[in-house]
């Protein structure tokens, strides 16, 4: 007769019986040593669902936040870019120059040529007339 | 760490397998973590809040888990810290020390619908509540959860010698109070 103990074809994972022993002991002792604490009916099923829902909702919120931040960043970059590109050239205008410009425009608009010449000094008139070619 | 656990942790970190793996994680560990938390915070509603916060933290931080300890050790550590932070927060809002807050919770067990322990259980809980925080945690983990000192040492990041001393002092104090 063959010895069935030595020819057992079945195998178990390494350390299986040690772990099994420990697992059973742990579970039973945890239950025994809860010292009077109880939970509502079906609590552990309900809490699992709640945890999964909470985690999914947090994940969705994080994705939305990232999208908003990305778009805000792009919008801010575009704003800065266009602000720099379209800034008009402004040179500081001195007080005297602005007054002179005003006066020049006033005279050109409101005086005819004879009136303008009459405002010049005689010396200046001669200079202007002498600039013309002599026949 | 064994291959099976490494593969499972990997599936928790991958985007396409994370959700399914996380469901399995919650299913496997929710009760153990809950009872550990419950013994620290006493009240069921508080334990409910803390256990949910624990799993949310696990979900958020799983990619940072470096696998220097087992997954359960890491989660247990998160649960312990969440419970202690919860106690700190509640006690400070009420202007109490942590121990005072815990003792007030234990005093409320007589009318707690989720406590049906006998007189001896109630006396034991009151004695445990009077322990300093570290001794209380060690006592809970060693006596109620029947954990080995090496496992507790990994979770609390305290030496085995210090844990043995804590437990010894805790047992001594509890015995003295129960004898009174």
User: What are the tens digits of pLDDT across the range B109-149?
Assistant: 888 888 887 888 888 889 999 999 999 999 999 998 888 99
Which of B35, B52, B144 lies at the smallest CB-CB distance from A47?
Answer: B52
Which of A15, A45, A55, A61 best probes binding to B when mutated, by most B CB atoms within 10 angstroms?
Answer: A55
Close Cβ partners of B164 (under 8 Å, ≥ 6 residues apart): B149
Chain B residues in contact with A44 (beta carbon < 8 A): 30-31, 34
Q: Mean pLDDT throughout B24-40? A: 92
Which pLDDT value is given to residue A43? 94
Which pLDDT value is given to residue A121? 65
Q: Where are the beta strands (DSSP E) in chain A?
A: none
Which of B48, B122, B141, B150 best probes binding to A when mutated, by most A CB atoms within 10 angstroms?
Answer: B48
Nearest CA in chain A to B114: A38
Mind listing the pLDDT tens digit for each residue in B43-100? 999 999 999 999 999 999 999 999 888 999 999 999 999 999 999 999 999 999 999 9
Nearest CA in chain B to A39: B114
Q: Mean pLDDT throughout B32-53? A: 92
d(CA B136, CA B127): 10
Mind listing the pLDDT tens digit for each residue in A111-126? 666 666 666 666 666 7
- Whole-complex ipTM: 0.82
Which pLDDT value is given to residue A100? 72
Mind listing the pLDDT tens digit for each residue in A82-109? 888 876 665 555 556 767 776 777 666 6
**Residue B14 C-alpha from the chain's centroid:** 28
Task: Say if the Cβ atoms of B116 and A36 lie within 8 Å.
Answer: yes
Nearest CA in chain A to B128: A35
Nearest CA in chain A to B143: A33
Residue with tokens 């002092």: B169
DSSP single-letter state for residue A3: -
Mind listing the pLDDT tens digit for each residue in A26-71? 554 444 455 788 899 999 999 999 999 998 888 788 888 888 998 8
Which pLDDT value is given to residue A1? 44
d(CA B20, CA A52): 10
- Please identify among residues 17-76 of chain B the ones whose CB lies closer than 8 Å to any CB of chain A: 19, 22-23, 26-27, 30-32, 34-35, 38-39, 44, 48, 51-52, 55-56, 59-60
In angstroms, what separates the C-alpha of A62 from chain B's closest C-alpha? Answer: 11
d(CA B56, CA A115): 91
Close Cβ partners of B81 (under 8 Å, ≥ 6 residues apart): none
Which pLDDT value is given to residue A6? 54
A63: left (phi over 0), alpha (psi -120 to 50) or beta: alpha
Task: Say if the Cβ atoms of A37 and B59 lie within 8 Å.
Answer: no
CB B47 within 8 A of CB B34: yes
Provide the number of CB pairs (under 8 Å) joining chain A to chain B. 77
Tokens of B88: 């700190």
Q: Which is higher by pLDDT, A12 or A41? A: A41
d(CA B36, CA B139): 11
Which of B31, B56, B114 lies at the smallest CB-CB distance from A37?
Answer: B114
Which pLDDT value is given to residue A17? 61
Rounded alpha-carbon distances, angstroms, from residue A117 to A110, A111, A127, B142? 14, 10, 12, 114
Task: Say if the Cβ atoms of A35 and B125 lie within 8 Å.
Answer: yes
Which residues of chain A have a Cβ shorter than 8 Å from any chain B Cβ? 25-26, 29-30, 33-40, 43-44, 47-48, 50-52, 54-56, 58
Q: Which parts of B42-118 fold into alpha helices (H)? A: 44-61, 71-93, 98-107
Which pLDDT value is given to residue B159? 95
CB B84 within 8 A of CB B133: yes
Radius of gyration over every alpha carbon of chain A, rounded to an integer in angstroms: 49
- Please identify among residues 79-138 of chain B the ones whose CB lies closer than 8 Å to any CB of chain A: 109, 113-118, 121-122, 124-125
């Amino acid at each position: 007769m063959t010895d069935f103990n030595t020819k057992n074809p079945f195998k178990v994972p390494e350390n299986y019986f040690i772990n099994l022993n420990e697992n059973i002991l742990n579970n039973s002792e945890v239950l025994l040593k809860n010292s009077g604490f109880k939970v509502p009916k079906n609590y552990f099923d309900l809490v699992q669902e709640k945890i999964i829902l909470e985690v999914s909702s947090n994940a969705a919120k994080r994705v939305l936040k990232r999208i908003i931040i990305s778009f805000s960043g792009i919008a801010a970059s575009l704003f800065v870019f266009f602000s720099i590109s379209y800034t008009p050239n402004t040179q500081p205008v001195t007080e005297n120059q602005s007054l002179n410009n005003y006066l020049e425009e006033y005279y050109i608009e409101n005086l005819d040529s004879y009136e303008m010449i009459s405002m010049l000094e005689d010396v200046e008139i001669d200079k202007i007339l002498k600039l013309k070619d002599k026949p | 760490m064994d291959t099976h656990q490494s593969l499972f942790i990997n599936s928790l970190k991958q985007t396409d397998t994370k959700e399914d793996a996380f469901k399995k994680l919650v299913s496997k560990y929710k009760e153990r973590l809950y009872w550990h938390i419950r013994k620290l915070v006493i009240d069921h509603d508080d334990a409910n809040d803390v256990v949910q916060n624990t799993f949310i933290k696990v979900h958020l931080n799983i990619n940072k888990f470096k696998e220097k300890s087992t997954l359960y050790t890491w989660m247990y550590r998160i649960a312990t810290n969440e419970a202690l932070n919860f106690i700190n927060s509640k006690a400070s809002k009420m202007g109490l020390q942590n121990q005072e807050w815990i003792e007030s919770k234990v005093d409320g067990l007589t009318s707690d619908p989720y406590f049906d322990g006998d007189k001896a259980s109630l006396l034991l809980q009151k004695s445990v509540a009077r322990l300093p925080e570290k001794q209380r945690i060690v006592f809970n983990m060693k006596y109620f959860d029947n954990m080995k000192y090496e496992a507790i040492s990994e979770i609390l990041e305290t030496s085995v010698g210090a844990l043995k001393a804590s437990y010894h002092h805790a047992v001594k104090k509890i015995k003295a109070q129960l004898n009174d």
